[in-house]
Amino acid sequence: MTAIHGPRPSTNGVEQAPVLIVGGGLAGLSTALFLSWHGVRPLLVERHPDLLIHPRARGFTPRTTELFRQVGLEPAIRDASFARGDDFRWVAIRADTLAGEYQPADEPQEGEPMAELSPAPFAPIDQDKLEIILRARAEELGADIRFSTALVSFAQDERGVSAVLRDCRGGQEEFVRASFLVAADGWDSPIRQRLGIALDGPGPFFHVATMMIDADLRPALRGRPVNIAYLQRPRPGTILMPNDDVGKRWVFGIGFAPEDAESIADFSDERAVALVREAAGLPDAAVTLQPQIPGTDLKVLGFAIGAQVARQYRQQRVFVVGDAAHIVPPTGGYGANAGIQDAHNLAWKLAWVLRGEAAPALLDTYEAERHPVGLLTMRQALALWGSRIGEGVAREGEAPLDYAAVAFGYRYQSPAVVGAPSHLPPALSSVELNGQPGTRAPHVWLERDGERFSTVDLFGDGFVLLTGAEGGAWVAAARSIAHPALEIYQIGDGEIADANDLWTSAYGVAEDSAVLVRPDGFVAWRSEGATTDPVAALTAAIGQVLAAASPALAVAEA
């Protein structure tokens, strides 16, 4: 795509950027990638000198893979996967030590076969490998990504955000003026704290000291497969996770109460080695700690394990994404996926407002849509937490939903959705979704010129209008509107065939109905059938989503 906005040379000593992103982790890089895909070239700054080599999240849902599929990254993610082939099975266990007797840890129940819900697979890739891919693609699309660069201060006004940045290597400072600021600066987000945004939820349970270690723990495994071990020793909440195929490189994590978090900074190699040996049940194991950021000697990192959601996702021209917006227990792998989906939701809205194709009020829908998903994600991760960790950690009362409902079934209610039902729960199964406004547009296999593709492959750029064999009036209406970012697909008209005759039932419509899908792949509006004035109906729907009276008005006011 052609860049429409990007960092510009300094004017009176102030560099100009459309969007300033603070934080170069998963959520920040995803924001930079999706913005760049939509033609906005952001400036991203990260205080560390490079990406972490710690894997952290170790897999991503098919819904998240769909988002990266839109920007051409599915093949690269597949090539960097740690699990290839159809016989791979994720093994999570509970035990006293790694050498002890194993019990299976509760896993989210899939509920429905993922292959039936998405054309994209589950992505078994470590977060550090994924971040390398995201960084490269974002830079390829024009993002300006600067490591060893810290945000010193910022101030916002009615027209933008002024920020002071510091080069962490030489200490030089520079001034940047941006239209918007995205805080992707982690669970303890200094930006969120400066804004005074409160957090809801039970808070941090404990802090985790985590490290990358080289240690031959195969004697503890005794040939048993393990992808993650939840251990009781040295204390409940300890984990060991292999980071290779043979059992010689591991991720080790151990928890501390929040009031003892400062002890993480005092970890010595000797203390860490003793804890790893106890967790493994191998008192004589040789253990070596590895630096976690290239070019540094940082061997121990601290993370909060808990459940909190920011009360606001936006304050004026500043938005919070990822861990800055929500921290959840790692159970189910929900948190990282939610952060990527935050970025995807926000990016297209920022791009359309910056292009002048939507009113600024569209940006209010980011919080309206993603905050409920943050709460849902927190509750579902909590529901799985106690069974993984064992005694001593309280369970949340809410029962777990099946994995497919959490991964695909979250829904949006906001002014950017026309006619979303208000009586439904926050997450639904695919049968319950049925193409309703505010839900992810379902995956259906289509065919054109002998090639098969998914409805999901049609989304990600502009708006998409889907109609059936009897929807000629909708096609004519869309062509008469001639919105520059509206693509039209008539299924069953002779050019595009429904491979399994499923599209109308999947989308809950008739052949003379129409479905309007947003750039993020969510149903914005659908008709119940034909109408006497399809031009007016379609114009009103697009206008409401873009917070303008009509598409033409949104463009004219730019």
pLDDT tens string for the chain (558 positions)?
444 555 555 556 789 999 999 999 999 999 999 999 999 999 999 999 999 888 888 889 999 999 999 999 999 999 998 876 556 677 889 999 999 999 988 665 555 567 789 999 889 899 999 999 999 999 999 999 999 999 999 999 999 999 999 999 999 999 999 999 999 999 999 999 999 999 999 888 878 889 999 999 999 999 999 989 999 999 888 999 998 888 899 999 998 766 665 566 667 889 899 999 999 999 999 999 999 888 888 898 888 888 999 999 999 999 999 999 999 988 778 999 999 999 999 999 999 999 999 999 999 999 999 999 999 999 998 888 765 554 434 444 577 888 888 999 999 999 999 998 887 788 887 667 889 999 999 999 999 999 999 999 999 999 999 999 999 999 999 999 878 789 999 999 888 999 888 999 999 999 999 999 999 999 999 998 888 999 999 999 999 999 863 343 333 232
Residues 370 and 493 in one domain: no
What CA–CA distances, in Å, run from 42 to 21, 66, 176, 218, 432? Answer: 7, 23, 12, 46, 38
Q: What pLDDT score does 13 carry?
A: 73
Give domain status of residue 104, yes or no.
Answer: no
Give domain status of residue 93, yes or no.
Answer: no
Q: How many CB atoms lie within 10 A of CB 532?
A: 7
Q: Which two tokens stand for residue 403?
A: 């994995």
Give domain status of residue 231, yes or no.
Answer: yes
State how many domains the chain has.
Answer: 3
* pTM of the model as a whole: 0.90
The residue from 304, 332, 349 where one domain ends is 304
Give domain status of residue 295, yes or no.
Answer: yes
Residues 56 and 126 in one domain: yes
Residues near 352 by beta carbon (within 8 Å), at least 6 away in sequence: 38, 358, 362, 519, 546
Instruction: Give me the CATH number covering residue 36.
Output: 3.50.50.60
Cα(453)–Cα(270) distance, rounded to whole angstroms? 55
Q: What pLDDT score does 113 carry?
A: 67
Cα(403)–Cα(382) distance, rounded to whole angstroms? 14
Instruction: Give me the CATH number covering residue 483.
Output: 3.40.30.120
- Given the residues 230, 403, 489, 507, select the one marked as catalytic: 230
Give domain status of residue 351, yes or no.
Answer: yes
Cα(160)–Cα(514) distance, rounded to whole angstroms? 39
Give domain status of residue 478, yes or no.
Answer: yes
Residues 57 and 204 in one domain: no
Residues 312 and 297 in one domain: no
Angle at 556 between CA 555 and CA 557, to 5 degrees: 95
| Residue 334 a catalytic site member | no
The residue from 304, 322, 354 where one domain ends is 304
Residues 183 and 205 in one domain: no
Residues near 204 by beta carbon (within 8 Å), at least 6 away in sequence: 258, 304, 305, 306, 308, 327
Residues 151 and 25 in one domain: yes
Give domain status of residue 411, yes or no.
Answer: no
Residues 50 and 143 in one domain: yes
Residues 57 and 167 in one domain: yes
Range of the domain at 326: 8-82+121-198+307-378
The residue from 378, 413, 430 where one domain ends is 378
Residues 219 and 244 in one domain: yes
Pairing between β-strand 43-46 and β-strand 14-22 as defined by DSSP bridges = parallel
Q: Which two tokens stand for residue 337?
A: 């996926």
Give domain status of residue 58, yes or no.
Answer: yes
Residues 190 and 211 in one domain: no
Residues 172 and 193 in one domain: yes
Residues 26 and 172 in one domain: yes
Instruction: Give me the CATH number covering residue 230.
Output: 3.30.9.10
